[in-house]
Amino acid sequence: MGRYCGHCGEKRLSPDDRAIKRYLDAIIDFFTSFDSKGYRSIWFLLTRPGHLSVEQLRGSRVRYAKPFALFLSLNVLCYVSISTFGTNAFSTPLAVQLNRNDYYGEFVRQKVEERIAAGTTFNQLESRYDEKTSVLSRTMIFAFIPMYAAIFAMLFLHRRRYFVEHAVVATHLWCFILILLAAVVPPLAAMFQWWGGQPTIAAALQANDGPLSLILQAIIAVHMGLLVRRVYGASVTYSVIVSLGLAWAFFHIVWLYRFLLFLVTIWMIRSS
């Protein structure tokens, strides 16, 4: 078996790729290759939600990393974390789409049955699907930016901002969320692993999905409330309503992304 998959070109993960040392090496490489703009941007992401967006929208861009470049860098760090700990919330295998899907499970079963009727065995379909969706998930994560930009545009329609301005805010929000997923979720899961005695961090995540989700939603709600207050000048009451509503909707929006990912993956399998 070669180092790379013959179907998708993806590098096969070895035990060394999942080692903690690999994760730490990637973090060190990430931060040592960052310039002062990157450090400054991450600092403000964590300490002053919305500040980067305000600076970007008023034209003060020289001192900070560009929003999309920052998103790309953090997406790489998030992928390394996912590869190490198996904590991927975005690449949804076919088994999850079929068996842990309360939104469009019947639609997935229908498409699977169509592929089987066309002469593909389930095992073949699952193998090809999982390989393809793993690759696509790292590209399609960008879909969250226009999704959240559209939400901000509707919630703050009276502010009469351009869509691209909402996209800047959405990009910075998702930079923060990527930091959460890459650098906060694994230590939290490790704590639950130690407490519950699960064999791996991925197993701890699955066993403690409820409390971990609540912690994530609480952190996102606080960040979101401060962000919309600073960027859009929303009242305290409206900021609280928006932040709680979007934090509650976070995992529902993730499932919308998973639906889009399923459609694209199944279409690409059919076309190949």
The structural domain count of the chain equals 1
pLDDT tens digit string along 145-157? 999 999 999 999 9
For residues 242 and 230, the answer to whether their CB atoms sit within 8 Å is: no
Question: For residue 74, is it within any domain?
Answer: yes
Angstrom distance (rounded) from CA 172 to CA 177: 9
pTM of the model: 0.81
Question: For residue 132, is it within any domain?
Answer: yes
Domain holding 225, by residue range, is 15-271
Higher-pLDDT residue of 35, 234: 234
Angstrom distance (rounded) from CA 49 to CA 43: 10
Asked which of 100-114, 116-130, 142-156, 188-202 is least confident by mean pLDDT, the reply is 188-202
Enter the DSSP assignment of 13: P
Angstrom distance (rounded) from CA 8 to CA 3: 12
Question: For residue 4, is it within any domain?
Answer: no
Q: Is the pLDDT of residue 17 over 50?
A: no
pLDDT at 23: 45
Asked which of 97-101, 174-178, 193-197, 238-242 is least confident by mean pLDDT, the reply is 193-197
Question: How many other CB atoms are found less than 10 A from the CB of residue 192?
Answer: 19
Question: For residue 5, is it within any domain?
Answer: no
Question: For residue 105, is it within any domain?
Answer: yes
Angstrom distance (rounded) from CA 238 to CA 223: 14
Question: For residue 8, is it within any domain?
Answer: no
Question: For residue 6, is it within any domain?
Answer: no
Whole-number Cα distances in Å, 21 to 81, 86, 127, 254: 11, 15, 29, 30
Mean pLDDT of the chain: 83
Question: For residue 118, is it within any domain?
Answer: yes
Angstrom distance (rounded) from CA 222 to CA 227: 9
